Structure 1
Amino acid sequence: MSVLLSARDLRLAFGGLKAADGIDLDVEGGEFLAIIGPNGAGKTTFINMTTGYLKPQGGSIRFDGQPILGLSPRRIVALGIARSFQLPQLFTEHTVLQNVALAVAAREGRLSLMAPLLRRAFRDEAAELIGRFGLSGVAEARADALNEGTRKLVDIAMAVALRPRLIMMDEPTSGVAASEKMAIVETLVRVLRGAGVTAVFVEHDMDVVGRFADRVAVWGQGRIAALGPPREILNDPEVQRTVIGIVPAGGVHAPA
């Protein structure tokens, strides 16, 4: 696989707190890379720098060989990087279908809120994408009436509507009932792999990481403390010791 995203020596400090202290990371095309680590380790900061919401004080970021440091979030989306948020960013007064149609319209440069609601092509594409996510049954439901797991899927469906090559997901299972987590992740992985989308996701559920990640990057104090396949990383004694409250003391046995 070829490198799709490359970060080199990323540095960013907030006062005396080093949120990024020399981050070097390559993301390979087609992989699912999980980022784990304690709160405050700099995981979301990395996503924000990659997607243009924060500008690092040093270092470089390249996407498919092209420098993207300093570009606006909208420009980065246009190049092929989308993101979802820990708290879903939905138009709560609109239906699921309307939310995804809005994302389709934004991709096409139609930013008026009425355009996607009136154009059949936008609605048809949104309906097809909703079907892939298993959301057809709630297509006409308002976003504010959905449970957290469904809201997460809609948020990611809106990101996929932008037709990205890479999607950055910040805690896709945060706030989701334990009984729903695996089914939700199975759905999004199926859709993303089917569309050929590379994924980087911040995650605190080690069962999810062990089952779905191709590689795992461990963040600690603004640095990458470990990087490798799930079985190796999640059963590493040092990772188990330092990622306090995330990895059980007995280890997590990732699927072979």
Structure 2
Amino acid sequence: MTTTPLLETRDLTVRFGAVVAVNKVSVRIDAGEVVGLIGTNGAGKTTFLNMVTGYLRPTSGSIALQGRSTVGRTPRQLVAHGMARSFQVPQLFPDMTVREHILFALALAQGSAAGLLRPLHAPASDAEATAVLQRFGLLDIAERTVSLVPQGQRKLIDIAMALALKPRLLLLDEPTSGVSSAEKMPLMEVVFDAIRAGGVTVLFVEHDMDVVRRYVTRILAFRDGVMIADGTPEQVMQDAVVATAVLRGKPNQAAPVRSQAGAA
């Protein structure tokens, strides 16, 4: 019996004038996977995430979440259907406190405009926000405005907000970007403890290969808007095309996608 993938794209393509930023990318992600998306700058990784999460409409191709088309749906609508994301540059409100950010996400998670019309501070929501803040190690700075919070903690706030939306699928865009080397693994441990506790499926873009190797069950490699490999970390890291075009950041001739099944 074939199960319906949590996320599936088929021949997903987007053009900006004469430039093809993502070209016929077909991906299947099943529930429970942790998938890393790698590639050099300009490979189309964030553009792909922007299409999947409703921030950019594809030129052609399809996107389905649990078998239902999402093309044309807004990011807000996709949150209601179980998809959430964080951003390479955290999308935060500088004059709001850390706690208010989590409360705002919890209100959005209610799935209706009514949730945003209620007062953010209420006993039940405050208790839930406290639990989220504690899980992410943010309770000590809960009443601080985010403009006074260091970059690493801003990343955690952004990801905590995404998880507070209670998604089935979480997309992370370079979660360790701008974070010091010493902070990267501790930050990712906190994030993945929360992900595992929630049973959330993950697709994340990342340049740090140590982070990718440690956390993913599968890797997709992009180069020039094309997916050039799809497989286990061992398969993809040992692929000669990936090693040349992605890991060493050098141009290479077009090559067929390497998949887990070894299909071209």
In the superposition, the TM-score normalised over structure 1's length comes to 0.92
Question: Which secondary structure state, in structure 2, belongs to the residue aligned with residue 127 of structure 1?
Answer: helix
- Cα separation, 1, equivalents of 2:57 and 2:22: 11
- Cα separation, 2, equivalents of 1:246 and 1:186: 28
- Cα separation, 1, equivalents of 2:12 and 2:141: 41
- Quick one: which of 51, 54, 57 aligns to 2:56? 54
Equivalent residue, structure 2, for 1:139:
142
Q: Which amino acid aligns with 2:199?
A: G
Superposition pairs of residues 86-125 of structure 1, within 5 angstroms? 86-108=88-110, 109=112, 110-112=115-117, 115-116=119-120, 118-125=121-128
- Cα separation, 2, equivalents of 1:244 and 1:31: 23
| CA shift digits 1:31-61 (9 cap, x unpaired) | 1100000111110011111111111011111
Equivalent residue, structure 2, for 1:208:
211
| CA shift digits 1:189-220 (9 cap, x unpaired) | 11011101111000000000011111000011
The RMSD of aligned alpha carbons is 1.5
Question: Where does the alignment leave 5 or more consecutive residues of structure 2 unmatched?
Answer: 251-264
- Quick one: which of 229, 237, 240 aligns to 2:240? 237
- Quick one: which of 119, 123, 128 aligns to 2:131? 128
Deviates more, 1:10-19 or 1:167-176: 10-19
Equivalent residue, structure 2, for 1:150:
153
1:236 Cα deviation from its structure 2 partner: 2.2
- Cα separation, 1, equivalents of 2:212 and 2:206: 7
Equivalent residue, structure 1, for 2:45:
43
Equivalent residue, structure 2, for 1:16:
18
Equivalent residue, structure 2, for 1:63:
65
| Alignment check: 8 A CA contact 2:4 2:67 kept | no
Q: Which amino acid aligns with 1:111?
A: L
| Alignment check: 8 A CA contact 1:206 1:246 kept | no
1:72 Cα deviation from its structure 2 partner: 1.1
Question: Which secondary structure state, in structure 2, belongs to the residue aligned with residue 23 of structure 1?
Answer: strand
Question: Which secondary structure state, in structure 2, belongs to the residue aligned with residue 35 of structure 1?
Answer: strand
- Cα separation, 1, equivalents of 2:68 and 2:129: 30
Q: Which amino acid aligns with 1:241?
A: T
In the superposition, the TM-score normalised over structure 2's length comes to 0.89
Deviates more, 1:216-225 or 1:118-127: 118-127
Do the aligned partners of residues 174 and 245 (structure 1) sit closer, same or farther apart at CA in structure 2, a change above 3 Å counting? farther
1:119 Cα deviation from its structure 2 partner: 1.8
Question: Which secondary structure state, in structure 1, belongs to the residue aligned with residue 187 of structure 2?
Answer: helix
| Identity within the alignment, % | 44
- Cα separation, 2, equivalents of 1:12 and 1:129: 37
1:244 Cα deviation from its structure 2 partner: 5.3
1:2 Cα deviation from its structure 2 partner: 5.6
1:246 Cα deviation from its structure 2 partner: 5.8
Question: Where does the alignment leave 5 or more consecutive residues of structure 1 unmatched?
Answer: 248-256
- Cα separation, 2, equivalents of 1:186 and 1:27: 22
